[in-house]
Amino acid sequence: MEKQVELKLDTMSGGALEVDFQEALRNVLPKLGDGEKGTITITIDVQRSKGTSTAAVVSYKLRYKTPDKAKGDICYFDSDYNCRVEAAPEPVDKVRQLKIAEGGDVE
């Protein structure tokens, strides 16, 4: 039998839980805006091994969620409930702007 250590969060799966937690944290933190909240959920399952009273399988699942980025429009409606929204801005033509800035001809 291999060397045994006491089961703790930092020894689960050979230290993989700690590594996975740190990776999840590095993925969640940069995606948080001012006042936004993300979640990291760790679920630990403990299942007694069949045919023994002295062994159990202890496993974990780690999931994380970053804030959803909602997008929407303000809808202005008339008395017939026809909805109108702001028109999308025209895409910027960066090549045209560069030519203008350089004093070049624009077609």
Whether 104 shows a pLDDT value over 70: the answer reads no
Query: What percent of the chain is modeled with pLDDT above 90?
Result: 51
Model pLDDT for residues 24-48, shown as the tens digit of each residue: 999 999 999 888 899 999 999 999 9
The answer as to whether 67 is a domain residue is yes
The answer as to whether 2 is a domain residue is no
Contact in structure between 17 and 33 (CB atoms under 8 Å): no
Model pLDDT for residues 53-100, shown as the tens digit of each residue: 899 999 999 999 998 877 777 777 788 877 877 777 776 676 666 666
The total number of structural domains that make up the chain? 1
Contact in structure between 48 and 2 (CB atoms under 8 Å): no
> Which residues touch 17 (CB under 8 Å, ≥6 apart)?
9, 10, 42, 60, 62
Name the 3-class secondary structure at 51.
Answer: coil
The answer as to whether 7 is a domain residue is no
State CA 81 to chain mean position distance.
37
Domain that holds residue 48: 12-101
